[in-house]
Amino acid sequence: GDSVTQMEGPVTLSEEAFLTINCTYTATGYPSLFWYVQYPGEGLQLLLKATKADDKGSNKGFEATYRKETTSFHLEKGSVQVSDSAVYFCALTRSDMRFGAGTRLTVKP
51 touching another protein, by CB under 8 A? yes
* Secondary structure (3-state) at 32: strand
Q: Which is nearer to another protein, 12 or 14 (CB)?
A: 12
Assign 3-class secondary structure to 36-85.
EEECCCCCEEEEEEECCCCCEEEECCEEEECECCCCECCEEECCCCHHHC
Q: Which is nearer to another protein, 18 or 30 (CB)?
A: 30
Q: Which is nearer to another protein, 46 or 53 (CB)?
A: 46
Which stretch, 17-25, 42-50, 52-60, 67-75, contacts another protein (CB under 8 A)? 42-50
